[in-house]
Amino acid sequence: MTIPFPILPLDYHRSRSIRRFTPSRKFLAFTTTAASKKIDPAQLAAVFDQLLPVAPETLTRGSGEWRGIALNTGHKFMEQLESLHWRGAVFRSTEDVEPVAIDKADGEKATTDFGGACVRLLSPLPNYAIEM
C-alpha cells in the first residue's frame, strides 16, 4: 500500500544524519492535516500498526494529561468530540483513566462522568498493544 505524505521542505535533507519517514513521523504527518483533510482509515491503520508499543506507565508520567487530536476519518463521532470540546485523556494511573476529558468554555478542564477505564499491555506476538 502506498501512503501519500506531505512534500518536505527543501532543507529537510541538509542534516548530517539521513532522515527518513519513520512510523512516528508518518503518524505525525497525519496530525498536521487532522481537521482540514479526510484521512483514509485503512492508511491510518497501516501506519498505526507500525508504531512501537508504549509502556502503560509512560502514559501516567507528569500530570497524566494527554492532549488529543481528532483525525478526520469521516467517522460521525468526530463531530460529537468537537461539540464537547474534547481535550484528550487523563491517565492518573494504569487503573484510573479518564478516557474522555473535555474543556469548559474558559478552556479549563471540565469534570466529566463519561466513565473510567484501565490500561493493559496486550502481547499478541509479534506485536504489542495497549488497550483501554
- Is residue 96 very low, low, confident or very high in pLDDT (cuts 50, 70, 90)? very high
Between 65 and 127, where is the model more confident? Answer: 65
What is the reported pLDDT for 130? 56
Q: Is residue 109 part of a domain?
A: no
Query: pLDDT for 43-82, tens place per residue?
Result: 888 888 888 878 888 888 888 888 888 888 888 888 888 8
What is the reported pLDDT for 44? 87
Residue 77, CA distances (Å) to 55, 73, 91, 104 in order: 28, 10, 22, 19
Q: Is residue 122 part of a domain?
A: no
What is the chain's alpha carbon radius of gyration, rounded to the nearest angstrom? 17
- Got the DSSP string for 50-109? TSPP--GGGGGSTT-EEE-----SS-THHHHHHHHTEEEEEEEETTEEEEEEEB-TTSSB
Total domains in the chain come to 1
Q: Is residue 97 part of a domain?
A: yes
What is the reported pLDDT for 2? 40
Look over the chain and give the mean of its residue pLDDT values, rounded to a whole number.
Answer: 76
What is the reported pLDDT for 54? 81
pTM for this model (two decimals) = 0.67
What is the reported pLDDT for 131? 56
SS3 for 107? coil
Whether residue 19 is predicted with pLDDT greater than 70 in this model: the reply is no
What is the reported pLDDT for 53? 79
Q: Is residue 65 part of a domain?
A: yes
8 Å CB contact between 70 and 78:
yes
Which residues span the domain enclosing 85? 23-102
Q: Is residue 72 part of a domain?
A: yes
Residue 64, CA distances (Å) to 60, 61, 96, 116, 128 in order: 4, 5, 10, 14, 21
Between 95 and 29, where is the model more confident? Answer: 95
Q: Is residue 69 part of a domain?
A: yes
